[in-house]
Amino acid sequence: MFARLIGTGSCLPGNPVTNDDLAARGIDTNDEWIATRTGIRSRYLASAGTTSSELGLVAAQRALEMAGIDAATIDLIIVATSTPDFIFPSTACLIQGRLGNKGATAFDVQAVCSGFAYAIGIADKFIRSGSHKRALVIGAEVFSRILDWQDRGTCVLFGDGAGAVVLEASEKPGILATAMHADGSQSGILNVPGQICGGQVTGDPFLRMDGQAVFKFAVRVLAEVAEEVCATANVSTGDIDWLIPHQANIRIIEATGKKLGVDRSKVIVTVDRHGNTSAASVPLALDEAVRDGRIQRGHKVLVEGVGGGFTWGAALLEF
């Protein structure tokens, strides 16, 4: 029994905000620095009040539409997010409520930019166990809410959005292998070290990052975890049709492809137009490549993420 992907969807809020737009808003930066260091040219930023559940709901509805199934038939909803609408209820429950799907298992996964890789791995295990038949797996973020707009080293890197997939139990090949890892000793290099206590925010509620440490860690583990899932599935990295790494930085993406020996033409890139949308980045890129026809039935697609925690994970699937 496999978990087979039967629909994808995504949602980006508003209009693209270019690097020049950010400079015009008073951030001490420029298009040349951002584009050269990261490959990012623009990103989408949600308007005040737009939430992860709203973006996730639209992405989910589009994925359900592609799959041609009714929301009521979904028995598992997992939302990967680090920017939930509330402390609780979970974003998954909010989306479930709006879909009118009652009774299904619904919960959030907090693994930051690896969130989608974790969520798809978890959904795969639920489906393979036979306990669930149809899963909606969503990555949804409004990272702009946790950015310090005075910190040019981080605020130019991120964007908002959501992506979703529908997985179904099937005898035809689907997800071939998954992996999820963490190393909490590295929690200091990427975090939002704030808390709510007694009705007040204590600590620092903004994203903080040691960019160079994150860069090195990301390139190493993205290559390692891709090799791990390929080995588990007995597939050579050379047989991957499409590589979809977490979209944080074009230099990390290219270095990962190079380490794996995957040609640049087989790597899906959206970071230039979306920026880093954390848990949404991989399903956003996946949906784009499915809808524009690059990813075809039978193709082997490797999706992978890395992010705060530190966490990293991957899934190899046959589309």
What's the closest the beta carbon of residue 249 comes to ligand UT7, in angstroms?
4
Cα–Cα distance between 70 and 59 in angstroms, integer?
14
In the set 113, 155, 249, 274, the catalytic residue is: 113
The pair of structure tokens assigned to 175 is 């997800």
- Among 218, 260, 303, 315, which residue sits at the site for ligand UT7 (rule: CB under 6 A)? 218
Whether residue 181 lies in the annotated active site = no
Residues of this chain, 108-167, that bind ligand UT7 according to CB under 6 A: 113, 152-153, 156
For residues 161 and 279, is the Cβ–Cβ distance under 8 A?
no
**CA–CA separation, 110 and 113 (whole Å):** 9
Shortest distance (Å) from residue 313 CB to ligand UT7: 13
Handedness of CA 296, 302, 306, 310 (dihedral sign): positive
Q: How far is CA 225 from CA 288, 312, 319, in A?
A: 23, 8, 20
What are the backbone angles phi and psi of residue 65, rounded to the nearest 5°? -65, -45
**Total count of residues recorded for the chain:** 319
Question: Closer CB to ligand UT7, residue 8 or residue 249?
Answer: 249
Q: Exactly one of 11, 19, 101, 246 is catalytic; which is it?
A: 246
Q: How many CB atoms lie within 10 A of CB 290?
A: 24
Choose the stretch contacting ligand UT7; rule: CB under 6 A; options: 9-17, 58-66, 81-89, 208-216.
Answer: 208-216
Q: Cβ distance 278 to 112 under 8 Å?
A: yes
Min dist CB 283 to ligand UT7, Å, is 15
Active site residue 274: no
Residues 229, 231, 235, 238, CA torsion sign? positive
Residues forming beta bridges with residue 194, ordered by sequence position: 203
What does the per-residue mask of binding to ligand UT7 show for 8-37, with x meaning CB under 6 A?
Answer: ---------------------x---xx--x
- Interface segment toward ligand UT7; rule CB under 6 A; list 58-66, 127-135, 210-218, 234-242: 210-218
Specify the amino acid at residue 103.
Answer: G
Site membership for ligand UT7, residue 97 (CB under 6 A): no
In 109-249, alpha helices (H): 115-129, 152-155, 211-233
Is residue 230 flagged as an active site residue?
no
Q: Give the shortest CB-212-to-ligand UT7 separation in angstroms.
A: 5
Q: Closest approach of Cβ 145 to ligand UT7, in Å?
A: 16
Residues with a known catalytic role: 113, 246, 276
- Applying CB under 6 A, the residues found at the interface with ligand UT7 are 29, 33-34, 37-38, 113, 152-153, 156, 209, 211-212, 214-215, 218, 246, 248-249, 252, 276, 307
